[in-house]
């Protein structure tokens, strides 16, 4: 039975995972080459943005240590979880440039260990990697036999930023690709003592687990795109409403309601790249990749489609406000986010853009785009904009007082007030429906006739 765990990689997943294990009673040694992250963990301060992590670190005091010494952490633990980045490559696959050196360091530590040690790779990799380069690096550096002297498992997490802690404690299921039954048994026991529910554990060989990880996310992206396709259809048909359609669709147990929102394109650090990797894998293998490729094309096309909608409601050059630049609420990640890509698309058309997000590092994101203005608050973003797009449904945006939206836009004391256009990508502002003070457009339903947001010089 494992009682001490080392977690290598203190990024957006590794830090919460280490804290989750410690809070459930394991002794945890957290490892990262970044001294600032190690210091933060030592002080009980979250090194990354994740809701609930600060409280979890306090709960973990005395059971969570941090170090930059990978080999020492492995020697002093019984199981090691690898949570390092596997960046996307130009061909759609994933790079092992961080994973292999990590495995070599683990192997060096195992060389002088007599006891059986469990190594768990959680990072997403291309099928064939775990039983290939990963296992070879461990064996080569350790001089030990996989399946006898040490165990190896591939066990990627199906958790989302912003809800990492909840998803880790309450998974729908757990996926384990195992080198041998002993490794799978040990990892299953660790999960049983960590999870707060009783998830089904799917145990299999490495390559089936690797395919499953990509297949799950590719299926979800296809489902999201299908719902978005329905939304675009409903926008063209009188009295149609994608919320009504997807609600009924989700009642069918063969389909289910998750990810059937019908809104805007998916983004973030996992869905886009996993979908492309699946397509690349299929193409390399000589299998059809048409569905995954079509999903990716459709997803990318959503940015241009909404940019076109924005332009159709503008005459002149009034500022366009974009609320929400993270790919989802409760995270600071803007990687391939809808709001960010929309802002860049509109900025490339020389439209004046105003942006706000409560969490994202916007000065860094728009450092090369000086024409994009960064508002100080959601209210400030709205006040500066003749057209406002709700791109990410942060709860604080949805809770704004109606007056923040309904006050007429003025670009200066010498301009007439004009009724603001509000494009609600998530149908999260129902209180604006039917308002005479704003031109409210909700995606997934037929849009009202275009209202051109123009500024007219006045003698006032």
Any idea which residues carry the catalytic annotation?
Answer: 270
| Closest CA relative to residue 345, chosen from 358, 356, 336, 332 | 336
Beta strands 320-323 and 200-204: pairing type?
unpaired
Kindly compute the dihedral angle of the four CA atoms of residues 50, 51, 54, 56, in this order, to the nearest 10 degrees: -100
CA 210, 212, 215, 216 torsion-angle sign = negative
User: Is 38 in contact with 68 (CB distance < 8 Å)?
Assistant: yes
Integer Cα distance of 349 and 326 in angstroms = 22
User: Is 430 in contact with 390 (CB distance < 8 Å)?
Assistant: no
Give residues with Cβ within 8 angstroms of 252, minimum separation 6: none
| Closest CA relative to residue 161, chosen from 40, 47, 327 | 327
Integer Cα distance of 255 and 129 in angstroms = 32
CA 35, 36, 37, 42 torsion-angle sign = positive
Work out the angle between the directed axes of helices 242-250 and 206-234 (0-180°, nearest 10): 140
Give residues with Cβ within 8 angstroms of 441, minimum separation 6: 309, 313, 421, 422, 423, 424, 447, 448
Q: How many CA atoms lie less than 13 Å away from 308 in the CB half-sphere?
A: 5
Residues constituting the chain: 460
User: Is 19 in contact with 168 (CB distance < 8 Å)?
Assistant: no
User: Is 322 in contact with 357 (CB distance < 8 Å)?
Assistant: no
User: Is 13 in contact with 122 (CB distance < 8 Å)?
Assistant: yes
């Amino acid at each position: 039975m494992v009682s001490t765990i080392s977690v290598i990689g203190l990024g957006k997943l590794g830090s919460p995972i280490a804290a989750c294990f410690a809070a459930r009673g394991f002794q945890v040694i957290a490892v990262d080459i970044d001294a600032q992250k190690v210091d933060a963990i030592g002080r009980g301060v979250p090194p990354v943005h994740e809701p609930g992590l600060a409280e979890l670190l306090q709960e973990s005091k005395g059971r969570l240590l941090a170090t930059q010494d990978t080999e020492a952490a492995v020697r002093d633990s019984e199981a090691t979880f690898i949570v390092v980045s596997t960046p996307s490559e130009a061909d759609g696959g994933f790079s092992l440039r961080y994973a292999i050196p990590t495995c070599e360091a683990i192997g060096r530590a195992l060389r002088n260990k007599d006891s059986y040690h469990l190594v768990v790779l959680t990072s997403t990799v291309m099928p064939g990697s775990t039983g290939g380069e990963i296992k070879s690096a461990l064996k080569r550096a350790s001089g030990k036999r996989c399946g006898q002297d040490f165990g190896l498992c591939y066990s990627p997490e199906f958790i989302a930023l912003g809800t990492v802690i909840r998803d880790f404690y309450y998974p729908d299921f757990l996926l384990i690709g195992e080198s041998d039954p002993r490794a799978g048994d040990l990892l299953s026991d660790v999960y049983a003592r960590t999870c707060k529910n009783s998830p089904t554990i799917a145990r299999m060989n490495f390559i089936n687990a690797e395919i499953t990880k990509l297949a799950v996310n590719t299926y979800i992206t296809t489902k999201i795109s299908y719902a978005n396709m329905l939304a675009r259809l409903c926008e063209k048909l009188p009295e149609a409403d994608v919320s009504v359609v997807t609600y009924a669709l989700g009642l069918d147990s063969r389909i289910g309601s998750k990810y059937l929102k019908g809104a805007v394109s998916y983004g973030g650090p996992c869905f886009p790249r996993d979908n492309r990797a699946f397509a690349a894998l299929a193409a390399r293998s000589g299998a059809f990749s048409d569905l995954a490729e079509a999903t990716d094309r459709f997803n990318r096309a959503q940015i241009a489609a909404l940019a076109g909608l924005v332009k159709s409601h503008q005459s002149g050059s009034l500022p366009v406000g974009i609320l929400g630049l993270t790919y989802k609420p409760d995270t600071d990640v803007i990687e391939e986010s809808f709001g960010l890509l929309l802002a860049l698309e509109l900025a490339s058309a020389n439209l004046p853009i105003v942006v706000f997000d409560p969490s994202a590092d916007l000065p860094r994101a728009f450092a090369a785009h000086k024409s994009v203005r960064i508002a100080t608050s959601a209210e400030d973003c709205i006040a500066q904009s003749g057209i406002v797009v709700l791109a990410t449904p942060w709860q604080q945006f949805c809770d704004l007082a109606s007056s923040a939206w309904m006050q007429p836009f003025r670009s200066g004391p010498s301009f007439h007030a004009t009724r603001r256009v509000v494009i609600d990508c998530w149908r999260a502002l129902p209180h604006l429906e039917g308002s005479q003070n704003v031109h409210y457009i909700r995606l997934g339903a037929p849009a009202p006739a275009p209202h051109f947001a123009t500024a007219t010089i006045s003698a006032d």
